[in-house]
Structure 1
Amino acid sequence: MSDSPPGVSDLLGVLAYAELTAFLRLAEDATRYAPSLTDQAALGGLAAAEYAHFELLRDRLASLGVDPEKAMEPFTGPLDDWHALTFPGDWLEALVKAYVGTGIALDFYREAAVGVDDETRNLVDEVLADEGRSQFAVERVRAALQEDPKQAGRLALWARRLVGEALSQGQHVAAARPELAALLVEAAGEDIGRMFARLTEKHGRRMAALGLTPGP
């Protein structure tokens, strides 16, 4: 049995499954969409980093006396649904998803980790480290937009869809796992609005970095 505070096992479980699925999706995107061997190798390297993060989370859960598979199980449905609803149609959509869509989802978990113990928070910070994903996506999307500016509208709409689906699935997770939701509420204090403002601001910065507009 785990003696960790309520919600910590859920936080580590959802992160572990998020990192595992990120590894699988990036590896798939590298094979399916990467336009060159250089891009395929680079995306494969990012996938390997995600798997290393998964291993850290799995080992931390085990050290707490929590079965990693059982900790991840409640989140397989919502995360699998999000990936199914946001399956990229091409290379640029895959890059925007890896940067914008995954980014805002992980921001939620980073917020939830504010109130946990130092060891857990440090682990969360480590596994949420960028590992070059931002630079990789930004460089390639901006280059594509310079070559064909008309792609911007399509990709901006795609990014808004990604974020909308991420928020919707996040609500499903929170409703199903109240202890995880409590971590988020406790971290935000009484000012949930300010927390969402931070998330929105980070999203806006990501869109600007890509050369896209956040939209309404």
Structure 2
Amino acid sequence: MNQSPGVVDLLGVLAYAELSAFLRLAEDAALLAPTLGDRAALGELAVAEYGHFKLLSRKLGEIGADPDAAMAPFVESLDAWHAQTRPADWLQALVKAYVGTGIALDFYREAARRLDPAIAALVDEVLVDEGRSEFAVERVRAALEADPTAAGRLALWARRLVGEALSQGQRVAAERPELARLLVEAVAEDQAEISRLFARLTEAHGKRMAAMGI
């Protein structure tokens, strides 16, 4: 069964995003986690991301696409985002895992809203939180209670993460018009939906920032 290029692109970018998340979370767990408990907890989240990657790879094969070829167009941009947003410490790693990754996943979720129900359901499955929110929020809020002055630094970091994510998103949209069209066509019939779309994205980001106390 062959799917449209846009669907293959969406699954491909998600697959590489999940593979990258697995690798980055595992690296942060090994290098930045302050306790063995934190290392184990972040490692568990990394394993969940790898499971999502396997689901997406399997689905790509089922629809007649080569997983490696589907992911390849997104390697450079996603690797660039990770390189430009490499956390300097544990708290920055937590904010990136929750806030930085969250804004990107919101866009993928929006792009999948009007796809075939089976594809949309798979996207929802791989975008499930898996405890990332609770893990990050608890630790960041505890750190801010101990040192409230860190809030300003982390707020600046969060804004940088979102800015870099939007910049790379624009690059991907320009290079992969079929993927961009999934999102654009979902709002093209109703211009008011554009405003609602960005309102949803802004609201979700604001909730994440507030949850962390920054």
* TM-score of Structure 1 vs Structure 2, range by shorter chain: over 0.9
Give the 5 Å matches for 1:41-120: 41-120=40-119
5 Å matches for 1:50-199? Answer: 50-189=49-188, 190=191, 191-199=193-201
Q: Letter of the 1:172 partner, please give it.
A: R
State the one-letter code of the partner of 1:208: A
- The structural deviation recorded for 1:193 is 2.6
Work out the CA distance in 1 between the residues paired with 2:80 and 2:187. Answer: 27
Could you report, residue by residue, the CA deviation over 1:58-100 in whole angstroms, capped at 9, with x for unpaired residues?
Answer: 0000001100000000000110000000000000000000000
Amino acid aligned to 1:124: V
Name the SS of the counterpart of 1:145 in structure 2: helix
CA distance in 1, matches of 2:28, 2:5: 36
CA contact (8 A) 1:115 1:186 kept: no
* TM-score relative to the length of structure 1: 0.96
Whole-angstrom distance in 1 between the partners of 2:101 and 2:45: 13
Query: Is the Cα–Cα contact under 8 Å of residues 100 and 159 in structure 1 kept in the other structure?
Result: yes
Gaps of 5+ in 1: none
Decide which of 208, 211, 214 is 2:210's aligned counterpart. 208
| Deviation string, structure 1 residues 36-70 (Cα, Å, up to 9, x no partner) | 00000000000000000000000000001100000
Counterpart of 1:14 in structure 2 is 13
SS in 1 for 2:173: helix
Deviations 1:150-199 (A, max 9, x none): 00000000000000000000000100100100001122333323211110
Shift of 1:5: 2.8
Unaligned runs of 5+ in 2: none
Give the structure-2-normalised TM-score: 0.97
Conserved? CA contact 1:113–1:187, under 8 Å:
no
Paired AA for residue 2 in structure 2: D
Letter of the 1:44 counterpart: G
Matched AA of 2:55: L
Deviating beyond 3 angstroms after TM superposition, the runs of 4 or more aligned structure 1 residues are none
Paired residues of 1:12 and 1:57 also in contact (CA < 8 A): yes
Contact 1:23-1:50 within 8 A present in 2 as well: yes
Cα RMSD, aligned residues only = 0.8
Classify the secondary structure of the residue corresponding to 1:7. Answer: helix
